[in-house]
Each structure stands twice: as C-alpha cells, then as structure tokens.
Structure 1
Amino acid sequence: MARINTMIAECYESKLDVQNADANCLGQMMAFVTAQADTRKKQLQLNKIPIMVVTSDRRPPVLDKIANNFRLGGWTAYNQFPVPESLRLCVSRRTITIARDIVKFIHSAHHGEHGLVFCQRRKIGDMILTQLGNSARYVHTDSNREDTEKALLEWHSGKIKVLILTNELGLSTIYKAETRFLIHGEPPEDLETYYHHACLAGGDGKPADAILYYSCSDLKDHSSGRIATARHRQHVLQSYCRNKSHCRRVGLLQAVGKLEAYTKKCNLCDACDQGYKFVERDLTKEARKAAELIRELDSKDKTLRYCQEVFAGKCTAQVRKNGVHESVHFGAGSHLPFDCIEQLFEELYLMDIWKHFQDVDDWDNLIVKPGSAVLRTQDKSFRLTMKVRDNPQLSRRGTPPSTLPLYRDDSDSAESSFTEEGALLDKEAAGDGKDCPMEVFSAMKALRLQLQIELGLAGPEEVLDDQTLQYLSVARPLDFREFKRIVKECSSLSMPEKQDKYAEEKWNRFGQRFLNVCIVARPPSHASE
C-alpha cells in the first residue's frame, strides 16, 4: 500500500487527475459510489483520464462489477499484498474467556507492539479495551466519523498500539507494515476475506502472528436456502478452521487460487508446528454409538463434556452417581484418543446429529440434545471418515483390556487387585517389557511411591493421580509433548492457563521418570517407532 500511495502522490505532483477510493470500505461506501460517478463524468468529458481502483477484495465477481461501473474496456488487476512468509497462522477454539485470552496473548507475546483485533461483538470489544487501557482504541458501529479519524491518526502515529475493530474499515486505511499481530474474535464471512486481513500483519517481513478464534456454531450452515457458492465458501472456511493436519498457509493460499504455493509448507503455523502424523480413519461405528448415547442422555440434560467423558469411559463421580457407567454405551470410544473423541462430536454437531440451546462460547458446557439428523446414523448408507491424529499404540492394540477401562479410578474395592505398590527403580519397574497396560500401570504406581518417599510428599496425588497413570499406561507417550497433553487432559482444573502450568510443572518434576517407564515397557515390535 505504501507503493500505491507513492504512485498517487506522484500523480498529484504531475497534476494528473486521480480519484482514489477503497472499494471494500463498507463504512464509506457512499463516498466510493460518489467517486465512481464523478470519475465517470470526467472520463466522459476528457476520455483520457487513467483510472486506478484500490480494492481489498480480489474475487472475480467484485472486479467485474468495478470494471462495469467504470465501463473499462481493458483493465489489469494487480495483487498488492501477499501473505508474508514470516506470518504464523494459528486457529483456536473460542471460549467464554475470549477477551481475557486475547489480552493475555497480547501481553505475553507482543507487549508494546502494534496489532489489530477484529471483534464483531461489542461486549467483547469493550472488555478488551478496558483491559488494554490507553494503549488501545476501539472503532465500532456507533463510532462517529470524528472518533474514527482520531483513532486512525493515533494508530498511524504510533500513539496507540492496538486498534480494535467491529466494522470493517477500508484495509488501506488501517494497513501498517510494522503490525506484529492480527486477531479475529470470530471467523470472517469467508476465507477470501481472511486472506486479505492476513496480509495486514508482518508487512515489513519480520515475524508476526495471526490468530483466528472460532466456535462450531460459527461454521454451521443454519440456512438451508443458501445458494451453492455461499455453501461452498462456508465449507472452505469450515475446513480451514477445523484442519489440524495440513499447513494453514498452504490451505489459505489454495482457497484464493495461489496455485504456485500448493506444496510450500510454512513450518510456522500451529498445524506444522505440532509434528503429529494424521491418518484417515473410518469412524462410522463410533459415530453411530455416539448418536445412540446422545439419544439415551436426552432426558438428562447433560453437557457436551459429560457426554464425551461417558463415551471415553471416564468413570467420574458424576457418572457413577447417575449410573451411566452401567450403560452399554459407556466407554464405547475408549479406544480413541480423547482429542479424537472431541473431533468426532464436533463433526456430529456440524452434521446436526446434536444441537444446543445456550451460549455457544461455553462449548464444553453446552446441553446436548438430539438434532434433526440424529437418525441419519442408523441408515445403512451412512459413512463417516475423518482425518485424525495417528496413535500407533492404540490403533495396533485395539480396545484396551476390559480389566483396565480408560480413566477408571481406584475408589472401588473391587479394583484393588491392581494397586500393588513397591519401591522399585525406574528400569526394574518396567524391565519385563510386557505389552500389558495393567502391568505398566502397576509399574507406574511403584515409581510414584518411590518418588513420594524420595521427595517426602504427603500423598501419591502430589505426584500423579490414578486416572493420569492409567491413561499413561495405555497411551504410553514417547515425548514430552504427549506426556504434557495427557496430564493436562486428566487434570481437574478448568482454566486452560492453569492446566498448562500444571502440566508443565508435572513434566519438570516427574515427567522424564515416567516417560522412561513408558519407553522401556513398549514391546520390541514398537520400539523403533
């Protein structure tokens, strides 16, 4: 945009008649229409005025409309902004703490740096502004022209660091090369729009972040009468947000027709950074059982997290109280990693197998009710294939033995048979190398007792609780990322930042010792993986 502004300045200095308007500036659309009319009038008078239109929307229908309005016989479109190669693209699930999450990210990763926050909901924008204080300005639908111009002046002069937007100003008016972060509180209309927004950050070539927060409700097509092109754009946006296996930069460039970038992974985005292998899995059987579970729990008004825990076989106090652990559907998905179960229920929501009635931002606590398509899973032609994170241990062994259901606790006296304890060394604890979760669990409990004695801790839970040890004994992680993910998943903490801190602390104090047990205990056929 700096080059375009320079070109316009040179035109003015040369006394050339130039009309400049941003074709995508919704807040000043009337001014743009007026500019079109004035330019067309002068064009008819002189018939030699060169016309340049700046637009942030490069979709062919938009370009054709602009050309028709100006009655251009021949025209060329130039792409001003590429997505910077130094831009790190990330997508995250939106929660009820979205405002606090955004402010925390800004303070921790980009304190004192310039950034843009797109937020359509006024309440969330006000909360962000309150927490950021004088370093931010908020331009929303009720902002008058004077306040908007003042905020833009302070933004470009560097007086403020963060500009919060609800209504979309012209992208040329907010572009700043040194913008270090770009945050969307919810997905834009389509991925084409997000592509243009992404070009606003990291224009100087230095590292920058673009984070998109979403809820599944944002991605669900609530209108059955939408035309095919609108449904296609919705599907493309949905695929981008829910993708975990492919480079986000590649996916974004594919969506806007950048064919030359199809195979150039960025190795920066959250999908590239996690390093997991993803495989196609047929989850038709699991989807049918999940739908049956949803129908069974219909009258109980249970939350999404509760349904997922029952499906995973978590025998929590609430599950036992309601007697659901005796259901035929309890633990139907215990052979799947929990993140795969979350992904499955998300897919079923988008297929309208289940629906909700509350605030969509409190995703885990949504009350699950059967959707209009809940019986679709009973159709013989129903099939569901998903790309999920590969878990070689579970996929090769199948369902864990019934003697050790995932997440089963030890409060029941009938389960005291596998609570043997002893103060053994790490290697001796797992030296048999047998492929039996029950024996690995016992070895881990022995190690836990040893650590408790060595460190003088008050109880075994100060190391790791039984639930976490049982999950570790089945999944048998091979690196610190998997270990921390499992510990975080099994924690009783509700806040994500507290879960992260808890998992990091457990890894630093005990992680490597338990990881040694997992590695030594793996059977020879898996040792090289």
Structure 2
Amino acid sequence: MLKTLKAYFGYTHFRPLQEEIITRILSKKDTLVLMPTGGGKSICYQLPALLMPGTTVVVSPLISLMKDQVEALQANGIIARALNSTNDETTNANLRFECMQGRVKLLYISPERLMSELNFLLKDINISLFAIDEAHCISQWGHDFRPEYTQLKALRQQFPHIPIVALTATADKITRQDIIQQLAMKDPQIFISSFDRPNLSLDVKRGFQQKEKIRTILDFIGRHKNESGIIYCMSRNNTEKVADLLEAQGIRTAVYHAGLSTAARDAAQDDFINDRVQVVCATIAFGMGIDKSNVRWVIHYNLPKSIESFYQEIGRAGRDGLPSDTLLFYSFGDIVMLSKFAAESNQQEINLEKLNRMQQYAEADICRRRILLNYFGETMTHDCGNCDVCRNPPERFDGTIIVQKALSGIARTDQQVGISTLIDLLKGAATQEIIEKKYDQLKTYGVGRDIPARDWQDYLLQMLNLGYFEVAYNEKNHLKITEAGKKVLFGKERAQLVVIKREEHLGQESKRGKKKAKIQEPQAPVLTPAVFENEDEYLFEELRVLRKKLADSQAIPAYIVLSDKTLHLLSSAKPTTIEAFGEISGIGEFKKEKYGKDFVEVIRRFLNKSSK
C-alpha cells in the first residue's frame, strides 16, 4: 500500500483513517466514509482501485468533477476515464474497448449513465469496486438531494458480491443512516474522520450594507494578492453585481449561476481552474466539481441556509492544508429571505431548524470552530484561537433599557410591524406608513433617536437571537414578543447585549477613485509569503511561472501539475537532482520522470544566480 502511495501519489505516509479504510475495502467489505473536504477521501478508493484486479466504477454527480479527477489521475500516470454526455461516439467506443480489455483502472460515470449501462458495459467488464462519491446526494435529508441517486440501490441487486464504498464530506446522523439504507449496504463500517480544519480561519461580520461589504471585500482581496477565492451570494443578481464592482477595481472575476448557459458556466469554471480569473462570484451551484487545491479564501456575501452547506463551501479553501481565510457576512434581510425559502420548501420544519442553527453559529460569541464540530457530533475541549471570537472576545453591557424600548415599540403597535418600520418608529422618522398608521402619536415614537439606525439593526438581531422576539414569517414578517421578552419588558430580568464595534474605513471613498486609475500602471510582481522554513519567495514565483507554462502546454490546470504545497516544499528544499526532486511530498514516479528535468533546471539556475 505504501509503495503504491509513493509511486503514484508521491506521499510517504497515510493521513488519519486512510490506511484502515483502504484495508477494509481491500477485504471487499461495504464502507461508509465521512471525511472533510481536503481530508483525502479520493485516495481511499483510488488506491484500492490500483491494487485490485479489474475496474473501479466511480459514481459522480457532476461532469466537471469527473473531468477534474480524471485529469489528476492521468497526470499521475493512472489510466482513468469518464463516460458522460460530453464524449463523442468515437471516444465512447474506444473507452468501452479499453474497459473490456481491462486496461482502465477507474471509470467515472454519472448516476443516470450508470443506470443505462447496467445491462450493457457493466455486464461485460470485470468490476472490482463501486465508489459512490458525494453520497449525501442520495438522501432527501442531505443538503444537496438528487433524485437520480436514489436508483443506485439497483447496484446491490445486479452485483450482490461487489463491495460498495460511499463517501461524503457532510452528513449528519439521519443522512448517514439514509445513505446506508438507500444503497442497501451490507453491514458497513462507518469511518468518521475529524471535521476539524484548523488551517481555515473563521470570521463573521454582521449588519454590513452593500457598500461596506464591498469595501471589506476589496481590503480582504488586497491581502490575498494573486490568490484564488470564491464569493458565494444568495441570488444570481448579487453574483453579477459583486463581480461588476470587483472588475471595476481591476480584479479578474467570473460569474457562475444556474441562469447562465452551460457553455458560460463551463467557461467560468475553466477560467477559475486555470487561474485566468482570480475570483468567482457564484451561487451555491458552484464548487462541488472542483478539486482546486490552492483556493486560498472563501467569502459568503450572504448567510448560507444550513451549517452543512456552509461547511462544505468553506471547505473548498485550503484543501492543500495551507493557511486559508473564510469570511461570512450576514444581515437581518438574509434571515428573512432564507426563512421564506425554508417555509415554502417541502421540508419546512427541518429546513427552518437547519437555518436556525446556522443563524446561531453566525451570532455566537463562543469559539466558532467548537460550534461547527459540535454540529457534526465532534467535541473540542479548547478554543481554536483561529476565529474572530477567539481573537476578540466580545465586550458586553447591560442593554436592558435598549431592549425595553424596542419591545415596547413592538407591543404598542399591537405586534404588527416588521424590523424596518420598528426602526423608523424608534428613530422618530416621518415615513408615510408611520403617519398613516398614527405611530407618530405613540409614546415610543422617537425614544431611540440617540442610537444610529444601523446599530438598531444590530441590537435587534441580537435580541432575535437571545429569543426576546420572533418573526412571524407567515404574517408579513411581523415581530412577536416571546415569554423571555416579556420578562425583560416588565423588568423581571436584565438583558446583556454585546458592544458594537465597527471597523472604520476613513477616507476610503476618496481613495477608491485614485485606486482605480492606479491599477492601469504596470505593477511589480506580488510575492506569495513564505510558508516553510528556508523558503525563498522569489524561487517560488519562478517555479510558479514554470508550472503555468507546463500546464498550458498540456491544457490542464496548474495545480494538477504540482500543488502549491509541493511548490512551497521545492522552494524550501531546493533539490538539484532529479532523484532529490522525486523525494518531495506530492511527487510520484510519473511526475518525477515527466517534470523533474524542468524544475531542477530552474532551481539550479536560481541558485547559481543567487550565489553570484
């Protein structure tokens, strides 16, 4: 196993649980694998595929995901193919012939295609294993349910003796049981790897308006020069708006959402994978098909609908284990909109509950990583030190009077107002609605003039999460006081609120105009900071240029040639022989033979230049 791991994948040791999972699969037993994105799931079935006689059939939900995996395997010298609708007839005929000859080690196929091939190709080849990737798609309790996955139980009926391994990065207890049942797995062993991704920083900002979000995003991207990232937005409209604003600042950005043609979506994904754009603004439809290991950051422009979605989306950053940043914005409007979607969905109760948990995460003032891990049934006994709450524990104050003012406003309007009208009432604004409904004659009118409107927004969000009022989504989002709220309103209990701290962007507006003009000037290369000891940043840059050249000549993404992590290791170890080059983690025999000469030449030239 270790010999094969080094020869094909370039690693000298397994990650946690990989060895046990592979041993189990090699003994032809059914297996369910839960491993976070970037935890090394693929090797769990790719390595057994190399060690077992015959072909491993991998069921995958997206063509882009198959393409990515097949390219990466071929780059390691492994014969892998994908059978899907993008192939022409000749390609498929050749592929069938190769499979029948037993030459193909891994065959990637969509669930629909699999069903149509059950009595044809699959009957004629020697199958060693069925691997069901993204297995949560089979469960209606999963966050990404795909009806076509539910037909996969036919595999057990048709091929009762072939082992099945199901793999996913996110599945709560209900979903796990459902996967086992739907696939008719026989006495499967469940392997659950730690969900902790300590290399990801977790940051949340709430109540920002669009202008502030964009400023913060520009600042953030400024700290991540040349580094790829994804911005997830709730609506298609937002993806396009944000992309336009970034493009105007000279940041190469693509858009990806379900309203675009397949060709436009493929082009956006291809540009991102091949580093022709730095950023993709996308709806949740984007990312499952991407194994890009050097995504350095993920921003959520809006609150996601569940912790599973959020965890899977941030998991697309830092798959190579290097430090990566995540940032989540959310506002009251997000919660209202997502609650409406959940209430109109087929599984209203469970979706509202999942949203509620997501909101609690965003609102929390305890270590965020502990909340995430706890959600997936894993306990952490210490704070992580790598989230905004750990870095800046919140300061609290007695906010009883503020809470009483707000609740009194709700009570005096007979609980018939939404959040924005309540703020207008507290601020003493003379809007049409306030005048028409005679709210300006209430005792509460104007009692909150001294607090800025955006602070009211923030305090009301805190009150919602503290359970002092709730939103009646079925009643035009009117606010209703809860039992806990009544206790504060009538002075039976005190209320603690978190002090609002804003990052100020002084003079940012005037700077932005200048910034735009400046972008047109040719800029000196921006260096990626050193990650390993003795690493040379200039050498890393030269190796990156070479990698891009080699990738372009083969029409494959740069990270498939060598990962960022491997480049960092090379610019730290600086090997000057092909043998030494092959010792670096992530470089197998095939890559050593194929790329060794080029990389060693650049390193030698660099060292000669440096010594002069």
TM-score by length of 2: 0.50
What is the match of residue 21 of structure 1? 59
Query: Structure 2 residue aligned with 1:389, among 473, 498, 523?
Result: 498
Offset at residue 198 of structure 1 (A): 2.2
- The residue that corresponds to 1:288 in the other structure is 407
Give yes or no for the alignment of 1:55 onto 2:171.
no
Q: CA RMSD in A?
A: 5.0
Q: CA deviation at 1:25?
A: 9.7
Change (3 A) 1:212 1:334: same
Instruction: Name the structure 2 match of 1:182.
Output: 298
Find the counterpart in structure 2 of residue 240 from structure 1: 361
Q: What's 1:74 paired with?
A: 187
Change in 2 beyond 3 A, CA 1:131/1:305? same
Say whether the 8 Å CA contact 1:287–1:344 is kept in structure 2.
Answer: no
SS in 2 for 1:52: strand
- Say which of 371, 375, 393 aligns to 1:275: 393
- Cα distance in structure 1, aligned partners of 2:350 and 2:202: 25
Q: Distance in 1 between matches of 2:300 and 2:458?
A: 22
8 Å contact kept, 1:240–1:251: yes
Distance 1:293 1:196, change over 3 A: same
Deviations 1:88-133 (A, max 9, x none): 2122235233773465144322221011122231222112333444
Which residue of 2 is the match for residue 373 of structure 1?
480
2:110 maps to 1:31: yes
| Structure-1 residue corresponding to 2:521 | none
What is the DSSP-based 3-state SS (H/G/I as helix, E as strand, rest coil) of the residue aligned with 1:202?
Answer: coil
Mapping 1:299-338, distance limit 5 Å: 306-309=424-427, 328-329=443-444
Alignment of 1:392-411 (within 5 A): none
Mapped to 2, the partners of 1:147 and 1:370 lie a distance apart of 37
DSSP-derived class of the 2:354 partner: helix
Match of 2:133 in 1: none
Give deviations 1:403-448, integer Å, cap 9, x for gaps. Answer: xxxxxxxxxxxxxxxxxxxxxxxxxxxxxxxxxxxxxxxxxxxxxx
What's the counterpart of residue 211 of structure 2?
A: 97
Aligned-pair CA distance for 1:77? 3.6
Contact 2:293 2:317 in 1 (8 A): yes
Q: What is the CA-CA distance between 1:282 and the residue it aligns to?
A: 5.3
Identity %: 16
In structure 2, C-alpha distance between the alignment counterparts of 1:145 and 1:91, rounded to whole Å: 33
Distance 1:219 1:370 in 2: 11
Q: Secondary structure at the match of 1:268?
A: coil
Tell me the amino acid that sits aligned with residue 68 of structure 1.
Q
- 1:207/1:282 Cα in 2 relative to 1: closer, same or farther (>3 Å)? same
How far does the alpha carbon of each residue in 1:339-382 deviate from its partner, in whole angstroms, 9 at most, with x for none? Answer: 87544433567835799x9xxxxxxxxxxx99363798996897
Native 8 Å contact 2:252 2:279 kept in 1: yes
Q: Secondary structure at the match of 2:370?
A: helix
Q: Which residue of 2 aligns with 1:266?
A: 384
* Kept in 2: contact 1:20–1:53 (CA 8 A): no
In 2, Cα distance between the equivalents of 1:255 and 1:4? 21
Greater relative CO, 1 or 2 (CA 8 Å, sep 6+)? 2
Q: Judge conservation of contact 2:296–2:325 (CA < 8 Å) in 1.
A: yes
- Between structures 1 and 2, the one with greater strand share: 2
User: In the TM superposition, what are the counterparts of 1:83-482 in structure 2 within 5 Å?
Assistant: 83-92=196-205, 93-97=207-211, 100-101=214-215, 103-133=217-247, 135-169=252-286, 171=288, 173-220=289-336, 221-222=339-340, 223=343, 228-243=349-364, 245-259=365-379, 261=380, 263-278=381-396, 285-291=404-410, 306-309=424-427, 328-329=443-444, 341-346=456-461, 351-352=469-470, 371=478, 373=480, 386-389=495-498
- Return the alpha-carbon distance in structure 2 between the equivalents of residues 122 and 180 of structure 1: 23
Letter in 2 for 1:256: F
Corresponding residue for 1:518? none
Give the whole-Å Cα distance in 1 for the aligned partners of 2:245 and 2:488: 52
Q: Runs of 5+ in structure 1 lacking a partner?
A: 312-323, 358-368, 391-480, 489-495, 503-529
- Kindly tell me: are residues 302 and 158 of structure 1, through their superposed partners in 2, closer, same or farther at Cα, counting changes over 3 Å? closer
Distance (whole Å) between structure 2 residues aligned to residue 61 and residue 68 of structure 1: 11
Q: Which one is further off, 81-90 or 36-45?
A: 36-45
Superposed CA offset, 1:124-144 (max 9, x none): 211233344473332211344
Contact 2:227 2:278 in 1 (8 A): yes
Instruction: Say how many residue pairs are matched.
Output: 375
Is the CA contact 2:253–2:278 (under 8 Å) kept in the aligned structure 1? yes
Q: Please list the CA deviations of residues 441-493 of structure 1 after superposition, one character each: whole Å capped at 9, or x if unmatched.
A: xxxxxxxxxxxxxxxxxxxxxxxxxxxxxxxxxxxxxxxx97xx5xx8xxxxx
Matches of 1:74 and 1:105, distance apart in 2: 52
- Work out the CA distance in 2 between the residues paired with 1:146 and 1:302: 41
Give the counterpart letter for 1:135 in structure 2.
R
Cα–Cα, structure 1 residues 60 and 269, in superposed 2: closer, same or farther, change >3 Å?
Answer: same
Secondary structure of the corresponding residue to residue 271 of structure 1: helix
C-alpha contact 2:253 2:280 (8 A) present in aligned 1: yes
For residue 461 of structure 2, what is the amino acid of its counterpart? E
User: Of residues 26, 40, 49 in structure 2, which corresponds to 1:3?
Assistant: 40
Aligned equivalents of 2:270 and 2:64: distance in 1? 19
